[in-house]
Structure 1
Amino acid sequence: MKKRLAGTALAAAMLLSACSFGASAEDRLSDVIGTIQEKEKPFLEAQEKMASLEKEEFGKFNEMMELTQEDREELSALAGEADESADERLGLLEEGKEALDNARKELSGLDEIGKDDEDPVREAVGKLKQSMSDRYDAHEEFSEVYEKAAVMQKDLYSLATDEEADFQTIQEKVEAVNKGNAEVTAAANAFNEATEAVNTVKKETYATIGDTEEN
């Protein structure tokens, strides 16, 4: 059964290849971009979940800051929930990174579009590939600072329930977390700008291909 199914999958793949043979540069570009977007879906889903967790976690942290050591049971419960939330966010971050890594591998499909086409198309597709690669680089930088910030947040949650932790120690950790959050915001903005740049270059690439194919 497995061999027969594998053969069926191979035949289907060959059929798809045959269908794309001789397709226009615009169609081939749409195919590659469509594949990349499909690979990125888990990343987008992870981002939504992370944003939701961050909002809830922030609320828990604010509640923690309003409690005293006398409210030990409630404080410990909130800290535990916040810590689990941070772990979940880090897991989602890894899922998102993996999805973008898989999507990035599909950039090689752009090389096949440009190599046999006219110079304007080749240059436009090359520019698009570079822009998309820059976006993935920006996300790698975001992931690095996000992970560091999340670890510091977990340390802060632990400190909040430590009876021996003094105010000065907690205050210093809060300042470190705030600094880390600022770095995350800056990295997120850079990634969003890179995403906007990709969208702009993508439109320019389609326009270039359209002009070339009309002439």
Structure 2
Amino acid sequence: MSKFRFAFVLGAAIFILMGCIGGASPEEEIYDVLEETVSKEKQYVEVQKPLQGLEKKEKEIYSEIMNLGMKEFDKIVKLSDDALKNISERTDYIEKERKAMKESKETFSGLDGFIAELDDKKLKDEAGKLEDTMKDRYKLHEKFTDSYLDALSEDKKLYELFKKKDLTMEELEKQISSINKAYEQTIDLNEEYNTATEQYNELKQGFYSTAGIEVE
């Protein structure tokens, strides 16, 4: 019964000017890596809206089931099947999201070599902080999606329970408690991930400013 979705994603920048002539400088190479990273996360961005729609729909299904009595068991079963299909679709979207983030991470891994080529100490320090923050962001996203999938697994158990005619209140309350714990962890990780993404975006803009890269 998800009640959230993470809000922060990387923003693409349009390169306008860099004060260098000739071959690509380390700053330019870093810019290219950072913006290609944004491109790789495009599919991640694209799944957010349908995921939010599915989460809202599942919440509505849950509320409808909870308002029904056992005399309407057939309807409960039908709604539970709808919810299970919803969970399956959300799982597919999360897997697409994870694939996009994996490709982003692979692209970002090329940054380290270009950072080593920077001569300016301030730029190198800023780029190093940028790299560390992004690595933390990737780790948090993996933890977050692992937790989200665990929560979906608990949701699935709930809707399977709803299809039992002999379901007891004790069984129901126990499963709802498990779901609540799973989503509490997921929400916490979601907030940490959003914070890391905000920090990364701020550090990226700071690096561009120090490097003399004008973007819009």
TM-score (normalizing by structure 2)? 0.83
Aligned pairs for 1:84-123 (under 5 A) are 84-118=85-119, 119-123=121-125
Deviation at 1:208, TM superposition (A): 2.4
Q: Where in structure 2 are there 5+ consecutive unaligned residues? A: 1-20
Question: 1:142 touches 1:188 (CA, 8 Å); kept in 2?
Answer: yes
Q: Which of 175, 181, 184 is matched with 1:182 structurally? A: 184
For 2:153 and 2:204, how far apart are their aligned partners in 1?
36
For 2:118 and 2:31, how far apart are their aligned partners in 1?
16
Deviation at 1:48, TM superposition (A): 2.1
Question: 2:94 touches 2:145 (CA, 8 Å); kept in 1?
Answer: yes
For 1:48 and 1:77, how far apart are their aligned partners in 2?
25
Q: Which of 150, 153, 164 is matched with 1:162 structurally? A: 164
Would the alpha carbon gap of residues 41 and 21 (structure 1) be closer, same or farther in structure 2, given more than 3 Å must change? Answer: farther
Give the stretch that moved more between structures: 195-204 or 25-34. 25-34
Q: Provide the residue aligned with 2:14 in structure 1.
A: none
Deviation at 1:195, TM superposition (A): 0.5
For 2:164 and 2:69, how far apart are their aligned partners in 1?
11
Deviation at 1:23, TM superposition (A): 2.3
For 2:78 and 2:42, how far apart are their aligned partners in 1?
34
Greater share of residues in helix: 1
For 2:104 and 2:46, how far apart are their aligned partners in 1?
14
Aligned pairs for 1:20-39 (under 5 A) are 22-39=23-40
For 1:179 and 1:159, how far apart are their aligned partners in 2?
18
Letter in 1 for 2:205: K
What secondary structure, in the 3-state scheme, does the structure 2 residue paired with 1:106 have? helix
Would the alpha carbon gap of residues 58 and 202 (structure 1) be closer, same or farther in structure 2, given more than 3 Å must change? Answer: same
Q: Provide the residue aligned with 1:210 in structure 2.
A: 212
The CA RMSD measured in Å over matched residues stands at 1.8
Question: 2:37 touches 2:105 (CA, 8 Å); kept in 1?
Answer: yes
Deviation at 1:46, TM superposition (A): 1.7
For 1:129 and 1:52, how far apart are their aligned partners in 2?
33
Deviation at 1:26, TM superposition (A): 4.0
Letter in 2 for 1:141: K
Deviation at 1:21, TM superposition (A): 7.2
Would the alpha carbon gap of residues 140 and 21 (structure 1) be closer, same or farther in structure 2, given more than 3 Å must change? Answer: farther
Q: Provide the residue aligned with 2:84 in structure 1.
A: 83
Aligned pairs for 1:9-24 (under 5 A) are 22-24=23-25
Q: Provide the residue aligned with 2:44 in structure 1.
A: 43
TM-score (normalizing by structure 1)? 0.84
For 2:22 and 2:136, how far apart are their aligned partners in 1?
30
Is 1:152 aligned to residue 151 of structure 2?
Answer: no
Would the alpha carbon gap of residues 207 and 68 (structure 1) be closer, same or farther in structure 2, given more than 3 Å must change? Answer: same
Once the two structures are superposed, what CA deviation does each residue of 1:96-122 show, in whole Å capped at 9, x if it has no partner?
111101100111232233222212222
For 2:211 and 2:173, how far apart are their aligned partners in 1?
57
Is 1:52 aligned to residue 50 of structure 2?
Answer: no
Q: Where in structure 1 are there 5+ consecutive unaligned residues? A: 1-19
Letter in 2 for 1:47: Q
Larger relative contact order (Cα-Cα within 8 Å, sequence gap ≥ 6): 2
Deviation at 1:25, TM superposition (A): 4.1
For 2:181 and 2:102, how far apart are their aligned partners in 1?
28
Larger Rg, first or second structure (1 or 2) = 1
Would the alpha carbon gap of residues 39 and 190 (structure 1) be closer, same or farther in structure 2, given more than 3 Å must change? Answer: same
Q: Provide the residue aligned with 1:142 in structure 2.
A: 144
Question: 1:142 touches 1:184 (CA, 8 Å); kept in 2?
Answer: yes
